[in-house]
Amino acid sequence: MDHHDRVQYLKQKGVIAIIRADQGGEALVRTVLALVEGGIHCVEVTMTTPGALDAIAAAQRELAGADVLLGAGSVLDAETARMAVSAGAAYLVCPITDEETIRTGRRYGAPVLPGAFTPTEILRAWELGGDLIKVFPATLGGLDYIKAVAAPMPQIPLVPTGGIDADNVHTFIRAGVAAVGVGSALVSSSLIATGAFDEIRQRAERFAEAVAQARSGN
């Protein structure tokens, strides 16, 4: 996939699962597989995960041919962005907006989702070249805030992250967001540590079904 196709894929799938784990290796690969089996095809491995770069590289090898787009999260600077792309990250997600990080991602063909919160920050992240804008932490304003921000800037694709679960995701999708970022409501470090991959798959199924119903108008 090229840069454009990856952006469209993220929008089409609608949910980015965030893995913030205490371990990488086989458990992480099995977690990604469980999410994919449940219908979640965009997965972000945060750089706070021990051995994150090795984990991304290993997962890419193991998942070759699978219908999944694997990215790196918690990317704070251009050097980390470069290393993540070299390890196989297909896109980069950031909690903040850093111009050099955006520039680096674009240089290597990786979509960048810079983090922003206020309307000024969101517009700046977009104008600097962010492909989708991660609104973080979305827990502070919730759905009402997302609607208020989107109203005067409908051209900016927003990805609210934080406080979204299977019960309220449909309200965000119907509000017109490009996608949502979901962490512990989908997968937590404790679920990974205990090998609860069936639970992760079931959670993914509930999310995927809720998004599909919201997009169909049901």
- The catalytic residues are 44, 134
Q: Please tell me the total number of residues recorded for the chain in this structure.
A: 218
Q: Is 43 left (phi over 0), alpha (psi -120 to 50) or beta?
A: beta
The Cα 138–Cα 161 span in angstroms is 5
Q: What is the DSSP string of 58-111?
A: HHHHHTTTSS-EEEEES--SHHHHHHHHHHT-SSEE-SS--HHHHHHHHHTT--
First to last CA, the chain: 31
* C-alpha torsion 96→97→99→100, nearest 10: 20
Phi first, then psi: give them for residue 119, nearest 5 degrees. Answer: -55, -40
